[in-house]
Amino acid sequence: MSDWTVPFADPWDGRGPPAVFPQAPQPSIWQRADNVARGVLGPAYGPVNAAAQLFNPMTDFRLMQQGGREMMEGKPIQGAANSLTGFLSMFGPGDEAMDLLKLGAMGAMGAKRAMPMGEASRMARAKELGYSDEPFYRGQKDTPTEGAVAFYSRDPETAAGFGKPLEYRLQMNRPLRFGEDVTVQDFYDAAKGVEAVAGPDAARKMLDAVPLQGDWDLARLANIVEKHGDVKLMPGAALHQMMEIAAGDAVAPLRAAGFDAIDTGRDVRMLKNFGQRLKEAAFDPDKRDSRKLLAGIGAGGLAVGLGATAVPSEH
């Protein structure tokens, strides 16, 4: 019976299907050859070893089951690697070869090493992704999970008036800042946004509010933009007021014009539901478009975001 024992514990119910082939031996000569191969091939060893497993004649159903379970548990790369290993495994040398196959399969499917999670590393990645160095706060009464078209404040006490103030980093690619002058290009885009949302008459109302000589429309203004688009025209607060008067509301026209935030100086209103991360987020470049406020961090990171004293460690 010793030659026909099941080599792996069943991950489902402890019983599993019976082994149909005897467990392959692992001669010491393989160990020596394997060590040499790893030393020579280095990082390329994993994918090469994965390809070599295609010639294996034995199938491990239990590992395939484990992979299926892991994929259902939200571990797609690990699960797929185990499933592939179970299907292609047993090149001959036993347990160690199976482990190497799994590593090779994970490498071939895009698995990557864990990112450093210390605060300095996370903030550096945040900056590379275009997030502000400046902290912003939002009062939370419920557990936050996803970004929203919402208000943030530079003042934690202001945010505290709406709930527990949590610290965020924001990605504002084109904010309308009340305290900074807008350009002719900005004004043109804003007028186009008003036209798209409220119609041409509303856009005409914006143009009539600007002291320009003659009869102006968006087509004529477009010609000026080509030569003088970067000329400073008016404060951002004035443009915001003009849009509210012309369209009844500035939010939708600004969004249509390509602006993604309104910055009043103390507070910021995001006009998009992404580009918002809790300070404890991983700032994973592969998840740059995610709406998750803690993209890249599990429940432990969420606990940190909600006020736990632990901080992700640097690895």
Q: What is the pLDDT of residue 97?
A: 52
User: CA-CA distance, 192 to 211, in Å (whole number)?
Assistant: 18
Helical ranges in the chain per DSSP H: 28-41, 45-52, 61-72, 76-88, 95-108, 119-128, 156-160, 184-198, 200-208, 218-228, 236-247, 251-257, 299-305
Mean pLDDT of 105-120: 67
The helix (H) or strand (E) run that includes residue 253 is helix 251-257
CA distances from 186 to 14, 192, 236, 239 (A): 66, 10, 9, 9
* pLDDT tens digits for range 10-51: 443 444 444 443 444 444 544 555 554 555 455 554 554 555
Share of the chain above pLDDT 90, in %: 42
Strands 175-177 and 276-278: unpaired
Q: What is the pLDDT of residue 121?
A: 92
Mean pLDDT of 151-175: 95
* pLDDT tens digits for range 57-80: 444 556 656 766 666 666 666 666
* pLDDT tens digits for range 202-221: 999 998 888 766 677 898 89
Asked if 89 contacts 60 with a C-beta cutoff of 8 angstroms, the reply is: yes
Most confident of 84-88, 100-104, 153-157: 153-157
pTM: 0.60
Domain boundaries, the chain: 2-108, 119-173+272-305, 175-259
Mean pLDDT of the chain: 74
Three-state DSSP class for 12?
Answer: coil
* pLDDT tens digits for range 237-265: 999 999 999 999 999 999 999 999 999 99
